[in-house]
Amino acid sequence: MQPSTPPNTRPGGTADFLQGTSLLTRFKNFYRMATGSMSPQGQLAYWHDVDLRYEALDCRRCESQRDYLLQYSPIIRYLSTNIAQLGGTLDSTNIRCRRCEPHERMEGGFDPRYGIKLCANVLEGRKKVEDTLAHEMVHAWDHLKWKVNWEADGGDLRGVACTEIRASSLSGECRWTNEFFGNKILKFTNQHQNCVRRRAVQSVKSRPQCKSDLDAVKAVNEVWDSCFRDTRPFDEIYR
């Protein structure tokens, strides 16, 4: 039996991630990543290594931004007050900055048992943290108000679709400047609605109880009119 061909790790070919902590090894990995000669598996390993090395720094930065927003951001303070009025508490003890894995493809998350997770290695800049935190706080308000069923088995996909619509609409993540400068989408008509619908469908698709892309689109469409119009606890779309 002939021995298997060893993987091509030359910079000119498809290169895998090289294990090691020396400056030379890290430079080689950076060069291969920057020139596009690293395999998809190697790219995942590269970013995983970067996230591990900067985890403590990323989390400290995220926590500093979180604390600032809890004290000074109008939208975060307003949501905090309204969550408290429903008997909930969100503060630095249950809004946690953590490293998220690349395959999770998330910026943050809400769990009614544990609170909010902010992906410290993904969120860059205070505005991004503010949008993500506001998004998850809308989920928290909705859960306290309507007891959304988030469970993977038997979860209410329409209820999840509704809170995703509201969170994307009310958090500020779909404002025109974000779409133009962040996603390079230049539209003046129905820009906000299109962004909210797109992000809501993406979020519903990621839920374990969603069986297909068509199910996600269907769930969003079925609740769109009532949920998009519902701006509570705001009087109108704030940002």
Q: What does the chain come to in residues? A: 239
Answer for the pair 164, 217: CB distance below 8 angstroms, yes or no: no
Beta 108-111 vs 115-119: how paired, if at all?
Answer: antiparallel
List, as one string, the DSSP characters of 75-92.
HHHHHHHHHHHTT---ST
Strand bridging mode 95-98 / 108-111? unpaired
Give me the helices (H) in the chain, please. Answer: 23-34, 40-53, 55-72, 74-85, 126-146, 157-170, 176-177, 191-205, 213-229
Angle, in degrees to the nearest 10, between helices 157-170 and 126-146: 140
**CA end-to-end span of the chain, whole Å?**
66
Helix (H) or strand (E) holding 97, with range, is strand 95-98
Catalytic: 179? Answer: no
Q: Which of 55, 104, 130, 136 is catalytic?
A: 136
Question: Whole-angstrom Cα distance, residue 59 to residue 56?
Answer: 5
> DSSP letters along 105-117, please?
--SEEEETTTEEE
DSSP one-letter code for 118? E
Q: Name the residues annotated as catalytic.
A: 136
